[in-house]
């Protein structure tokens, strides 16, 4: 069996790459170890940058996003008993974010690929990468897929990055001394926009997925487990952290999903070796505070699509050779922004009173300086493509 691009992973990166290549007349096969039901239900990110929204619409997979997505034109930073709105419409006119779950993006992309006759294979076993420097091919479940290029879009724990020979990649990592406990609740959002809250008890985030489903996060110890957090304890802690301004009442309801997410930053350089190109979480992880993970994957795929289009059109390898360097500029900008948002809003056990006062002083600066607020807004809605 042969195709032009073999894609490992049917997450947003792999599916979007396959779809964008299809629009350019380039064939691909997507291999996914999980079931279709699993990837369509897997809850991950939910904040789409302006550039991500524009990409999906331009690719013809944005109809449901436009109907059901929730555009937001600001976020609130809450600390010290006060709320401070970062107004995107004033600071970055014409740009916003849209709340639309990653699993919904995946559903839309799968539907588009299947409708177009795309080859997306689920529950594929034993995927392995071969001959990256010469004539690359993939093996899986006793079959062989020959291809001109392999795209590793299979996440942090996938097989693509480990297939690169030892000593080629340099990795950069930072583990944060806390995790996020995330929940989905069948309850209408208590706010029309996202609320990022810094308290002495720890960080909390109020988000949403629809007019009837809310998403919340709590800063918890890095070794926390779901079993330690029964529903009553979660709501008590969320209320303690979010009801920190006069007149705000958190609406509670049935919790339908819980999970603990470690907080870490990770980058692998370069994002390519031979005919293998990494995209999304296979190459980089960001702490979720800055809402950059899915959006970085989309940015990688845009760059890779253009490079592959040039390669298959005239054989030129220049854009492919420069793929990693082009992506890493945005990756490191997102790493910095995510680190900055994380350190700005979370409490650290290592901080003394001096460190805490510095943190509050910086929050005052961000919420009182138009220049600082603009920098936050520019990065949050996404830097221009």
* Residues classed as catalytic: 72, 196, 288, 292, 380
**219 close to 180: Cβ distance less than 8 angstroms:** yes
How many C-beta atoms surround the C-beta of residue 366 within 10 A? 18
How many whole angstroms separate alpha carbon 299 and alpha carbon 51?
Answer: 8
How many whole angstroms separate alpha carbon 208 and alpha carbon 38?
Answer: 21
The 10 Å CB-count burial string (b at 16+, else e) for 11-35 is bbbbbbbbbbbbeeebbbbbbbbbe
Cα 380 vs. chain centroid, distance in angstroms? 12
**Integer CA distances (angstroms), 359 to 56, 119, 138, 347, 352, in order:** 37, 51, 50, 9, 11
How many whole angstroms separate alpha carbon 109 and alpha carbon 206?
Answer: 27
Cis ω for the linkage preceding 336 (within 30 of 0):
no
Q: If DSSP codes are grouped into helix, strand and coil, which group holds residue 14?
A: helix
| Strand-pair partners of 203 | 198
SS3 content of the chain, % helix, strand, coil (to 5): 40, 30, 30
Q: Which of 131, 132, 109 is nearest to 59 (CA)?
A: 109
């Amino acid at each position: 069996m042969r195709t032009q691009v073999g894609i490992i992973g049917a997450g947003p990166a792999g599916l979007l790459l396959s779809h964008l290549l299809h629009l350019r007349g380039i064939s691909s096969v997507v291999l996914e170890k999980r079931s279709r039901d699993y990837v369509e239900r897997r809850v991950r990110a939910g904040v789409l940058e302006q550039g991500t929204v524009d990409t999906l619409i331009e690719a013809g997979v944005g109809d449901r996003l436009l109907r059901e997505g929730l555009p937001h034109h600001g976020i609130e930073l809450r600390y010290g008993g006060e709320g401070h709105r970062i107004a995107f419409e004033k600071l970055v006119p014409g740009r916003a974010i849209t709340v639309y779950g990653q699993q919904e993006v995946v559903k839309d992309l799968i539907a588009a690929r299947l409708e177009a006759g795309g080859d997306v294979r689920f529950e594929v076993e034993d995927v392995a990468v071969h001959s990256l420097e010469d004539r690359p091919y993939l093996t899986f479940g006793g079959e062989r897929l020959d291809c001109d290029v392999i795209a590793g879009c299979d996440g942090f724990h996938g097989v693509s990055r480990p297939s690169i020979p030892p000593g080629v990649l340099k990795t950069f990592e930072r583990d944060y001394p806390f995790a996020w406990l995330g929940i989905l609740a069948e309850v209408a959002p208590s706010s029309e926009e996202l609320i990022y809250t810094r308290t002495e008890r720890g960080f909390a985030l109020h988000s949403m997925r629809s007019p009837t489903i809310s998403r919340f996060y709590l800063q918890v110890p890095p070794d926390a487990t779901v079993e330690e957090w029964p529903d009553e304890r979660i709501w008590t802690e969320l209320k303690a952290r979010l009801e920190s301004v006069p007149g705000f009442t958190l609406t509670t309801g049935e919790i339908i999903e819980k999970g603990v997410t470690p907080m870490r930053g990770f980058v692998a350089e370069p994002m390519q070796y031979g005919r293998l190109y990494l995209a999304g979480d296979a190459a980089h992880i960001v702490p979720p505070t800055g809402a950059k993970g899915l959006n970085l994957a989309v940015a990688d795929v845009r760059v890779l699509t253009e490079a592959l289009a040039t390669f298959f059109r005239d054989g030129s390898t220049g854009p492919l050779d420069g793929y990693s360097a082009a992506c890493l500029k945005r990756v490191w900008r997102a790493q910095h922004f995510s680190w900055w948002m994380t350190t700005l809003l979370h409490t650290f056990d290592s901080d003394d009173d001096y460190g805490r006062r510095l943190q509050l002083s910086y929050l005052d600066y961000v919420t009182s300086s138009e220049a600082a607020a603009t920098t936050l807004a520019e990065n949050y809605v996404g830097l221009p493509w």
